[in-house]
Structure 1
Amino acid sequence: MLRVIDKADVKGKRILVRVDYNVPLNKGGSISNDERIRESLETIRYLVKKKGRVILISHLGRPDGRVVEELRLDRVAERLSRLIHMPARKIDTSIGREAEEAAASLKPGSIMMLENIRFYPGEEENDKAFSSGLARLGDIYVNDAFSVSHRSHASTLGVARLLPGYAGLQLAREVGFLSRAVENPKRPLMVIMGGSKISDKIKAIEHMMGIADYVLLGGALANTVLKAAGKGVGKSLVEESAIDCAKGILEKASRGSCARLVLPLDLSAATRAEADAEVKTINLETSSIPKGMMSLDIGPETVKLFSSIIKKAKTVIWNGPVGMFEIDPFARGSIAIAKAIASLKVKALTIAGGGETIAALAKAGKKAEKGFTHISTGGGAMLTFLEGAEMPPISILSLTGKGEHDVDNHQRQE
Structure 2
Amino acid sequence: MPFRTLDQAGDLKSKRVLVRVDLNVPMQDGKVSDDTRLRAVVATVEALRAKGARVILLAHFDRPKGKPVPSMSLKPVVEPLAKVLGVPVAFAEDCVGPAAEAAVANLQDGDVLLLENVRFHPGEEKNDAGFADQLAKLGDVYVDDAFSAAHRAHASTEALAKRLPAYAGLSMQRELEALDKALGAPVRPVLGIVGGSKVSSKLDLLKNLVTRLDRLAIGGGMANTFLYAQGFEVGASYCEKDLKATALEIMQLAKDNNCELLLPIDVVVSERMEPNAPHFTRELDAVDDDERILDAGPKTVERLNAAMDSSATLIWNGPLGVFEVPPFDTATVDAARHAAKLAKAGKLVAVAGGGDTVSALNHAGVVEDFSFVSTAGGAFLEWMEGKTLPGVAALEV
| TM-score > 0.5 by shorter chain | yes
Which residue number corresponds to residue 19 of structure 1?
Answer: 21
Which residue number corresponds to residue 381 of structure 2?
Answer: 383
Aligned partner letter, 1:334: T
Which residue number corresponds to residue 351 of structure 2?
Answer: 351
Which residue number corresponds to residue 407 of structure 1?
Answer: none
TM-score, length-scaled by structure 1: 0.91
Aligned partner letter, 2:341: S
User: Residue 40 of structure 2 aligns to a residue in which SS?
Assistant: helix
Paired with 1:370 and 1:238, the residues of 2 have a C-alpha distance of 34
Which residue number corresponds to residue 228 of structure 1?
Answer: 229
Where do 5+ consecutive residues of structure 2 fail to align?
none
Counting only pairs closer than 5 Å after superposition, residues 116-135 of structure 1 correspond to structure 2 as 116-135=117-136
1:241 Cα deviation after fit: 5.5
1:242 Cα deviation after fit: 4.1
CA RMSD of aligned residues (A): 1.6
1:12 Cα deviation after fit: 0.8
Paired with 2:278 and 2:154, the residues of 1 have a C-alpha distance of 48
The count of corresponding residues between Structure 1 and Structure 2 is: 393
Which range moved further: 239-248 or 259-268?
239-248
Which residue number corresponds to residue 62 of structure 1?
Answer: 63
Judged with a 3 Å threshold, the aligned counterparts in structure 2 of structure 1 residues 335 and 98 are, in CA distance, closer, same or farther, namely: same
Paired with 1:290 and 1:54, the residues of 2 have a C-alpha distance of 62
Deviations 1:74-93 (A, max 9, x none): 12121110111111112221
Where do 5+ consecutive residues of structure 1 fail to align?
400-414
Which residue number corresponds to residue 367 of structure 2?
Answer: 369
Which residue number corresponds to residue 3 of structure 1?
Answer: 4
Q: Does 1:276 align with 2:276?
A: yes
Deviations 1:150-204 (A, max 9, x none): 1111110011111111000110111111112212211111111112232332212
Does structure 2 conserve the Cα–Cα contact (< 8 Å) formed by 1:211 and 1:258? no
TM-score, length-scaled by structure 2: 0.95
Judged with a 3 Å threshold, the aligned counterparts in structure 2 of structure 1 residues 282 and 87 are, in CA distance, closer, same or farther, namely: same
Does structure 1 conserve the Cα–Cα contact (< 8 Å) formed by 2:211 and 2:254? no
Identity over aligned residues, as a percent? 41
Aligned partner letter, 1:192: I
Find runs of 4+ consecutive structure 1 residues off by over 3 angstroms. 239-244
1:115 Cα deviation after fit: 1.0
User: Residue 383 of structure 2 aligns to a residue in which SS?
Assistant: helix
Aligned partner letter, 1:295: I
Which residue number corresponds to residue 144 of structure 2?
Answer: 143
Which residue number corresponds to residue 296 of structure 2?
Answer: 298
1:65 Cα deviation after fit: 1.8
Which residue number corresponds to residue 166 of structure 2?
Answer: 165
Paired with 1:359 and 1:161, the residues of 2 have a C-alpha distance of 36
Deviations 1:311-360 (A, max 9, x none): 11110111111111112211111111111111114532111111211111
Deviations 1:81-121 (A, max 9, x none): 01111111122211112112211221110111111122222
Which residue number corresponds to residue 35 of structure 1?
Answer: 36
User: Residue 83 of structure 2 aligns to a residue in which SS?
Assistant: helix
Paired with 1:384 and 1:280, the residues of 2 have a C-alpha distance of 36
1:134 Cα deviation after fit: 1.1
Paired with 2:201 and 2:37, the residues of 1 have a C-alpha distance of 23
Does structure 2 conserve the Cα–Cα contact (< 8 Å) formed by 1:143 and 1:167? yes
Does structure 2 conserve the Cα–Cα contact (< 8 Å) formed by 1:229 and 1:250? no
Which residue number corresponds to residue 395 of structure 2?
Answer: 397
Aligned partner letter, 2:351: I
Does structure 1 conserve the Cα–Cα contact (< 8 Å) formed by 2:91 and 2:114? yes
Does structure 1 conserve the Cα–Cα contact (< 8 Å) formed by 2:78 and 2:90? yes
Deviations 1:39-93 (A, max 9, x none): 1110011111211111111111122222222211112121110111111112221
